Amino acid sequence: MKTVRRIGILTGGGDCPGLNAVIRAIVKTARNMYDLEIIGFSDGYEGLIENRYRVIRAGDASGILARGGTILGTSNRADPFRFPVLQDEEYIFLDRSTQAVRNFESLGLDVLIAIGGDGTMAASARMLKKGLPVVGVPKTIDNDLVGTEQTFGFDSAVVTATDAIDKIHTTAQSHHRVMIVEVMGRYAGWLALCSGLAGGGDIILMPEFPYDIDAVCDAVRTRNARGKTFSIVVVGEGAKAIGGEVVVKRIVANSPDAIRLGGISHQLAAQIEGLTNIECRVTILGHLVRGGSPSAFDRLLATRFGVEATHMAARGEVGRMVVLRAQKMSSVPIEEVAGKIRTVTPDHPLVKAAQALGICLGHAADVPLEKQLKEHKTS
Q: What is the DSSP string of 327-368?
A: TEEEEEEHHHHTT------TT-HHHHHHHHTT-B-SS-TTS-
Residue 324 placed within a domain: yes
Q: Of 301 and 92, which is predicted with more confidence?
A: 301
Q: What local confidence, expressed as pLDDT, does residue 379 receive?
A: 53
Distance CA 198, CA 200 (A): 6
pLDDT band, residue 89 (cuts 50/70/90): confident
Residue 55: phi and psi, rounded to 5, are -75, 130
Mind telling me the catalytic residues?
Answer: 142
Q: What is the mean pLDDT of residues 348-371?
A: 87
The reply to whether 14 and 75 lie within a common domain is yes
Strands 111-116 and 53-56: unpaired
Q: For 215-247, how does the pLDDT look when each residue is reduced to its tens digit (9 = 90+)?
A: 999 999 999 999 999 999 999 999 999 999 988
Q: CA 105 to CA 109: how far, in whole Å?
A: 6
User: Which of 279, 305, 351, 334 has its CA nearest to residue 118?
Assistant: 334
Domain assignment present for residue 220? The answer is yes
> Is residue 84 very low, low, confident or very high in pLDDT (cuts 50, 70, 90)?
confident
DSSP 8-state class, residue 82: B
On whether both 10 and 40 belong to a single domain, the answer is yes
Q: By C-alpha distance, which of 309, 296, 295 is closest to 28?
A: 309
| Residue 181 to residue 65: CA distance in whole angstroms | 30
In a domain, 1, yes or no: no
pLDDT attached to residue 88: 84
Kindly tell me if the per-residue pLDDT of 349 is higher than 90.
yes
Number of domain units in the chain: 2
Is there a single domain that holds both residue 137 and residue 212? no
Q: How many CA atoms lie within 13 A of 373 on its CB side?
A: 13
In a domain, 265, yes or no: yes
pTM of the model: 0.93
- Write out pLDDT tens, residues 137-155: 999 999 999 999 999 999 9
Question: What's the rounded Cα separation, in Å, for the pair 265 and 185?
Answer: 14
Shared domain for 367 and 242, answered yes or no, is: yes
Domain that holds residue 174: 155-290+345-378
Rounded Cα distance, 334 and 338, in Å: 6
Residue 215 shares a structural domain with residue 362: yes
Domain CATH code at residue 51? 3.40.50.450
Helices (H), the chain: 19-29, 45-50, 97-106, 118-129, 154-175, 190-198, 213-225, 264-276, 296-315, 334-337, 349-356, 369-378
Rounded Cα distance between 27 and 108, Å, is 18
CA–CA separation, 220 and 225 (whole Å): 9
| Percent share of the chain, pLDDT over 70 | 95
- CATH number of the domain within which 184 lies: 3.40.50.460
Question: How would residue 352 be classed by pLDDT, with cut points 50, 70 and 90?
Answer: very high
Rounded CA separation 284/82 (Å): 31
Residues 131 and 245 in one domain: no
127 and 59, same domain (yes or no):
yes
Task: List pLDDT tens digits, range 277-296.
Answer: 999 999 999 999 999 999 99
* Residues recorded for the chain: 379
